[in-house]
Amino acid sequence: MKVLYCVSEAVPYVKTGGLADVAGSLPGALRDLGHEVRLVLPRYRPIPRENLTPLFPLRIEVGGAPVSGLVLEGRSPSGIPVYFVDCPRFFDRGGLYGEGGRDYPDNLLRFAFFSRAAVAIAAQAFPPDLVHCNDWHTGLIPAYLHQRERAGQRSWPTLLTIHNIGMQGLFPAAEFPGLGLLEDYFGPDGLEFWGKVNCLRAGLVFADVLNTVSETYAKEIQTAEFGAGLEGLLSRRSRDLFGVLNGVDYGQWDPRVDAHLPARYGPDDLDGKRFCKRALQQDGGLEPLPYAPLLGMVSRLTDQKGCDLVAAVLPALLKQGVQFVLLGTGDPRYHALFSHLARTHPRQVVAALTFDEPLAHRIEAGADLFLMPSRYEPSGLNQLYSLRYATIPVVRRTGGLADSVVDATPEAVDDGTATGFVFDDYTPPAFLAALDRALSAFRDPVLWRRIQQAGMRADFSWGRSAGRYAALYREAVGRRVGGLAGETA
Ligand code: ADP
């Protein structure tokens, strides 16, 4: 099947979070299943124009005036063709979505332009069997395709993947006329959400099939607690909504081959992990104690990720002699909080408040425990990485965390399926209780090794998930049979 995969970030070009990891590895896994996948990505500043071939010019009316751009073609290191939407006015900037903690004020126009460029690529360069949209940045694509179809122009089936329902792309209603959509698209059956433009909602209404990135999250977002206001619409479309857990690119994330590590290791020999721990302690100025439990965390520092829970339990844990290494950026409140902790406990706490891919790998390898007490977690990748790195995850039972970590109950330990420590209530005592269980397991080397081994053996490679995406593509295409797709030129 021919798939045009439209996304706002992808490894190895640009990354702010898990979306880029997915976009960097799913297309290759689909290709391995025999599909022809091509990516559409904005050409941001860090992506050099050299080695890209100009394909065709763009002239798209957004914000009431024509904006020019260019489609450039390249190939990713893993051989996936990539169409870059080049428009310096919108994408040649210091950040992807904003700078200094503030979103760019013209984000709606930027991603409307990108979405319409993707439609132009489908029409002029690569007519696909299906357009795969991801998150709010590409949520307008199904609306634009719907409008084309109404006008008797060629259109294509669509799948929209929700990577995080909390990010919807909300903009003032006054900006709607700049999108080039007919007036009736702004209404309760369209993009409108409490008087605002909601880009994700456009995709949720007009895409043929929807999915999110774990089965549990697919159920959760149909409830008021997790649906961020879109639960009603999602429940109405529940027959079209599926859950597919993200996979891991073990070419990048496996301690046997990871080039970022000071030593490599695998399930049969964990000596390298001990070396990685010592190196992480030394680099961070921590006491080089092999028996001090080292807790790691790599995360956007937002309320979603449970930073407040971590801050609440850390003082008690530090008294017990644990060490903590944090890598993350985000909410200035959490920057202040964690840098204060690092200043007051220089031999026990490291707070690296930056984005640092190699350090993320070294924390995965060097830590004993990995913390993900998320309020909600659509899929989560770090817990999957942690399992492979024998770094036992302590997670809240939500979304993809619930679907991928098996709590170390006595029964699960006995039958060899336990891979981590899971808690339910979003409260400091519940989190602390899980950590207490984890720390007492840490003091029992045989038990610890057993849990580590089970995690390292778990297989979350993309193959299976890619097969499920292929099935969703077939589903979306099947729904158009007899419809307008592909019938008009
Ligand atoms: P989300 O997509 O919600 O941010 P995920 O767990 O799905 O969460 O994916 C996060 C990805 O981003 C992981 O690959 C993680 O290692 C990476 N990451 C997050 N923050 C940083 C950081 N400060 N430095 C390096 N990598 C980071």
**Looking at the structure, do residues 372 and 293 belong to the same domain, yes or no?**
yes
Q: Give the containing element (helix H, strand E) for 297.
A: strand 294-301
Domain shared by 377 and 477, yes or no: no
Asked whether residue 260 is assigned to any structural domain, the reply reads: no
Cβ(330)–Cβ(413) below 8 Å: no
Q: Is the CB of 330 under 6 A from ligand 1?
A: no
The domain that holds 176 is classified in CATH as 3.40.50.2000
Is 261 part of any domain? no
CA–CA distance, 329 with 211 (Å, rounded to integer): 28
23 CB under 6 A from ligand 1?
no
- For the stretch 392-410, pLDDT in tens is 999 999 999 999 999 999 9
| CA–CA separation, 458 and 181 (whole Å) | 47
Instruction: Retrieve residue 38's tokens.
Output: 């091509």
Q: What is the pLDDT averaged over residues 306-325?
A: 97
Phi, psi of 392 (to 5 degrees): -75, 125
Could you tell me the two tokens for 62?
């957004």
Please check whether residues 187 and 280 belong to one and the same domain: no
Determine whether 290 is exposed, middle or buried from the number of CB atoms within 10 Å of its CB (0-12, 13-18, 19+): exposed
Q: Compute the distance between CA of residue 458 and CA of residue 419 in angstroms, rounded to an integer.
A: 9
Confidence check: pLDDT of 344 > 80: yes
Q: Are residues 228 and 342 in the same domain?
A: no
What does the pLDDT average to over 240-250? 96
Query: Which of 99, 2, 4, 1 lies closest to 44 in space, CA to CA?
Result: 99
Q: Indicate if 60 and 151 belong to the same structural domain.
A: yes
Indicate whether residue 400 lines ligand 1 (CB < 6 A).
no
Residues 90, 96, 102: CA angle, nearest 5 degrees: 95
Residue 489 has pLDDT above 50, yes or no: no
Assess whether 184 and 331 both reside in one domain.
Answer: no
Residue 242's DSSP bridge partners are 211
Q: How many folded domains does the chain comprise? A: 2
Average pLDDT, the chain: 96
CB of 351 closer than 6 angstroms to any ligand 1 atom = no
* Band (242; pLDDT cuts 50, 70, 90): very high
Q: Could you tell me if the CB of 21 is within 6 A of ligand 1?
A: yes
Place of tokens 């302590």: 394
Mutate to test the pocket of ligand 1, among 381, 385, 389, 403 (most ligand atoms within 8 A of CB): 381
Give mean pLDDT, residues 205-213: 98
Predicted confidence band at 487 (pLDDT cuts at 50, 70, 90)?
very low
Average pLDDT (169-196) is 96
In a domain, 256, yes or no: no
Find out whether the beta carbon of 383 lies less than 6 Å from any atom of ligand 1: no
Distance 192 CA to ligand 1 centre (A): 31
Given this model, what pLDDT does residue 187 score? Answer: 85
pLDDT score at 481:
67
8 Å CB contact between 41 and 73: no
Q: What sign does the CA torsion over 245, 223, 205, 135 have?
A: negative
**172/225 same-domain check:** yes
Q: What's the pTM value of the predicted model, to 2 decimals?
A: 0.94
Ligand 1 pocket mutation, candidates 16, 26, 382, 388, criterion most atoms within 8 A of CB = 382
Give the separation between CA 211 and CA 226, rounded to whole angstroms: 15
Nearest residue to 470 (alpha-carbon basis) of 37, 141, 75: 37
Q: What is the pLDDT of residue 188?
A: 83
Question: What confidence category does residue 483 fall into, taking pLDDT thresholds of 50, 70 and 90?
Answer: very low
pLDDT for the residue 146: 97
Does residue 189 fall inside a structural domain?
yes
Start-to-end CA distance of the chain, whole Å, equals 19
What pLDDT does residue 488 have? 34
pLDDT band at 101 (very low <50, low <70, confident <90, very high): confident
151: enclosing H helix or E strand? none
Specify if 419 maps to a domain: yes
Confirm if 381 and 21 have CB atoms less than 8 A apart. yes
Residues 341 and 380 both lie in one domain? yes
Statement to judge: residues 159 and 24 lie in one domain:
yes
**Ligand 1 touching residue 382 (CB < 6 A):** yes
Q: Please give the backbone phi and psi of residue 20, each rounded to the nearest 5 degrees, phi first.
A: -65, -35
Centroid of ligand 1 to alpha carbon of 361 (angstroms) = 11
Is residue 264 situated within a structural domain?
no
User: What is the whole-number distance in angstroms between the Cα of residue 16 and the centre of ligand 1?
Assistant: 7
Are 468 and 399 members of one domain? no
Quick one: tokens of 306? 């449970």
Q: Around Cβ 391, how many Cβ atoms within 10 Å? A: 29
* CA pair distance 13, 103, nearest whole angstrom: 20
Is residue 258 situated within a structural domain? Answer: no
DSSP-assigned letter for residue 184: G
pLDDT of 332 higher than 80: yes
How far apart CA 471 and CA 329 sit, in angstroms, is 36
Backbone angles phi, psi at 219, to 5 degrees: -75, -45
pLDDT of res. 100 = 83
* Cα 254 from chain centre: 19
Cα–ligand 1 centroid distance for 373 (angstroms) = 14
Q: Which domain does 338 fall in, by range?
A: 271-459
88 has a pLDDT exceeding 70: yes
Mean pLDDT, residues 259-276 taken together: 97
Q: What percent of the chain has pLDDT over 90?
A: 96
Same domain, 334 and 236: no
Domain contains 342:
yes
Same domain for 277 and 406, yes or no, is yes
Q: Name the helix (H) or strand (E) containing 418.
A: none
pLDDT for 67: 98
Give Cα separations from 413 to 40, 215, 394, 421 (angstroms): 45, 24, 15, 11
Residue 142 CB partners (closer than 8 Å, separation 6+) = 131, 133, 158, 160, 202, 203, 205, 206, 207, 208
pLDDT at 480 over 90: no
For 274-307, how does the pLDDT look when each residue is reduced to its tens digit (9 = 90+)?
Answer: 999 999 999 999 999 999 999 999 999 999 999 9
